[in-house]
Amino acid sequence: MYIVIVGAGDIGIPLIDIATRSGNEVVVIEKDPERADRAAGEYDCLILNADATAHGTLKDAGIEKADALISTTDRDAINIMVCLLAQEHEVPTIVSVVHDPEHMNVFRQIGVNTMENPQELIAGYLYRAVARPAIVDYMRIGEKAEVFEIRVTENAPISGRTIVEAAHEEILPDDVLIVAIEREGEDPPITPKGDTTIRTGDLLTVYSGFGADPELTDVFGHYEDRLK
C-alpha cells in the first residue's frame, strides 16, 4: 500500500516503523524539523518537513495515489483539517487519532475512522497488566464484553475437560466462548469444538460477555487475580 502518515511523534514513529517493516510505500509529513530529522535518520521512506494542512504538501506527498492517510498529530484541529483535505483528494481509507472525546462526533460526521485518546488506551493497558496479570492481551467490546488471551495452569478446573463437559459441569459460563487454542507443537491454532479437550499450557483466546472478572480467570487456574 501507499500510505501517507501525518506526524512523527510518539504515535507516528511506531506507526512508521510498522508500516515500513510491512513492506508498504510510506510518506511521512512532519512540521517539526527535529522530529522530521529523527524520522529521516531512522526509516527508509520519504520524510517531508512541511505543513500537512497545505494542499501543496499533500500533493508533494503523492496524495493522489495514496491508498490510506493516517493523521497522528497531538492536535485534533489539525487532524480534522488533514482528514478533510484527504477526502477532497478521495483517499480511500482515512484514519485519525482523537485526543478529546468531545471531538469524536466531529470525526464521525465527516466519516473518518478513529482511535480515541490513545494515551488513555495505553494507560488502561498498563494498569491492566498490573491489576490482572493473568490476562495476556485483551480487547474491550462495548461496555462489558471482552476478548482476551489467557494460559491454562495445572490447577485449572477446565484443564483435562472438553468444552462440552466444562459447560455441562457449569465450569464455563453460558456467555463465555473459547474461540481459539494455541498449543505447543500445533500450528495453526486450533479452532475448538465441543469435544475439544483443554490442556494445561494451552493459550486460549476467550470471549466473555461480562468481561474477565476473577470468577472467570479462576476457571483457567489464575487465582492470583483475587489478591489484587
Measured CA to CA, the distance from residue 107 to residue 81 in angstroms comes to 10
Looking at the fold, whether 45 and 96 belong to one and the same domain comes out as: yes
- Which residues make Cβ contacts (< 8 Å) with residue 22, sequence separation at least 6? none
Same domain, yes or no, for 117 and 7?
yes
Shared-domain flag, residues 151 and 98:
no
Same-domain pairing of 115 and 153: no
What's the distance, Cα to Cα, between the start and end of the chain in Å?
45
In a domain, 126, yes or no: no
CA distance 43 to 211: 39
Q: What is the pLDDT of residue 227?
A: 45
Q: Is there a single domain that holds both residue 171 and residue 85? A: no
Domain count, the chain: 2
**Domain shared by 6 and 116, yes or no:** yes
Q: Residue 148: name the closest of 119, 185, 180, 104 by CA.
A: 180
- Measured between alpha carbons, how far is residue 20 from residues 3, 170, 203, 227 in Å? 10, 48, 30, 43
Burial degree of 101 (CB within 10 A; 0-12, 13-18, 19+)? exposed
Mind listing the pLDDT tens digit of every residue in the chain (228 residues)? Answer: 999 999 999 999 999 999 999 999 999 999 999 999 999 999 999 999 999 999 999 999 999 999 999 999 999 999 999 999 999 999 999 999 998 888 888 998 888 888 766 766 677 777 777 667 788 777 778 778 999 999 999 999 999 999 999 999 999 999 999 999 999 999 899 999 999 999 999 999 999 999 888 889 999 998 765 544
* Residue with grid cell 510518506, as numbered in its chain: 27
Pair 109, 140 in one domain: no
The verdict on residue 127 lying in a domain is: no
Domain enclosing residue 209, as ranges: 132-227
Q: What is the pTM of this model?
A: 0.66
Residue 101 lies in a domain: yes
Cα torsion angle, 44, 53, 77, 106, sign: negative
Q: Are residues 111 and 163 in the same domain?
A: no
CATH number, domain of 23, equals 3.40.50.720
Same domain, 81 and 156: no
Statement to judge: residues 6 and 110 lie in one domain:
yes
> In angstroms, rounded to a whole number, what is the distance separating the alpha carbons of residues 228 and 212?
14
Q: 223: burial class by Cβ within 10 Å (0-12, 13-18, 19+)?
A: middle
**What CATH number has the domain bearing residue 142?**
3.30.70.1450
- The residue type at 12: G
Instruction: Specify the pLDDT at position 224.
Output: 66
> Are 103 and 185 members of one domain?
no
Residues 143 and 89 in one domain: no
